Amino acid sequence: MNRKELAQGIVNYLEFYREMGISDLRADKSKAAFEPAPRTPRLSNPVARPPGADSQTRPVLFEPAATLFDEKRTVDETLDQVRSDLGDCRRCKLAAGRKHIVFGSGSPAADLMFVGEAPGAEEDEQGLPFVGRAGQLLTRIIEAIGMQRDDVYICNILKCRPPGNRNPESDEITACEPFLLRQIAAVKPEVVCALGAIGAQALLRTKEQISRLRGQLIEYRGIKLMATYHPAYLLRNPGAKRKVWEDVQKVRDYLRSLRR
């Protein structure tokens, strides 16, 4: 990277923070700031948590199921196995209009997993999640908390695009949800970040508004869930970027606390 590219990259980052409502950036000159944090050891049981990991979380807002996975299946199921089982899915009406199944992308052992609502036109075209304008903003959010897209796992509630980008319908969510839960069980993230009201409501089995769900680490089937606004919503409502920044900072700080 030459000096011009480096300078433009710095400008882009500063502009991103300005859009988030952040005007005061202070450098952390400690040695730890320049060293990657060690990964938290993986737990064979996704329900078990490290000692003290729950000390900073809010009360449970719903009654979660006991585990993330079907008890008949192995805990060590891989994403490839889940994708193979999904196959050329025809389990709901969306199959007739899709170009590609959009399964997911990223690290199969990510500590942080993002779950959106459904693929859009560009995602349907490429078969990858969050590759349009909203995806570009999500990438910047991920990078703002010191991570890369390859460090996290990204997927959606639905694996096929609804016509005209309409909201997912209940029967479509019901058809796709088992595969989403198996994805979560395969990755075993420390935190799931639900992007948008539909994603959060589907996962939490609630009709609570996203404005009331966001901002807290919620107990979710033995892990933590942070609900926040969808990047597409931020493109229409830039004023909400500061709230998303607050949410992802809490996720970042929680993940760092597990490594201490």
Query: pLDDT of 227-245, one tens digit each?
Result: 999 999 999 999 999 999 9
**pLDDT score at 69:** 43
Confidence of residue 50 (pLDDT cuts 50, 70, 90): very low
Which structure tokens are listed for 52? 């003290």
Alpha helices in 87-127 (DSSP H): 121-126
With cut-offs at 50, 70 and 90, classify the pLDDT of residue 260. confident
Could you tell me the residue ranges of all domains in the chain?
A: 74-258
CB atoms closer than 10 angstroms to residue 162: 20
Is residue 205 within 8 A of residue 169, CB to CB? The reply is no
- pTM for the complete prediction? 0.76
pLDDT, residue 171, reads 96
Query: Which of the two residues, 66 and 20, has the higher pLDDT score?
Result: 20
Looking at residue 63, its pLDDT comes to 39
Sign of the dihedral through C-alpha 44, 50, 56, 62: positive
> Which residues, at least 6 apart from 223, have a Cβ–Cβ distance to it below 8 Å?
46, 49, 68, 184, 189, 190, 191, 192
pLDDT band for position 11 (cuts 50, 70, 90): low
Q: Inform me whether the pLDDT recorded for 143 exceeds 80.
A: yes
Q: What pLDDT score was predicted for residue 76? A: 83
Q: For 98-130, what is each residue's pLDDT tens digit?
A: 999 999 999 999 999 999 999 999 999 999 999
Rounded to 10°, the helix 79-86/170-187 angle is 150
Give residue 6's pLDDT band: very low, low, confident or very high (50, 70, 90). low
Q: What span, in angstroms and rounded, lies between the C-alpha atoms of 28 and 24? A: 13
Q: Where are the alpha helices (DSSP H) in the chain?
A: 3-19, 79-86, 121-126, 133-144, 170-187, 197-204, 210-213, 231-236, 241-258
For the domain made up of 74-258, give the CATH fold: Uracil-DNA Glycosylase, subunit E (3.40.470)
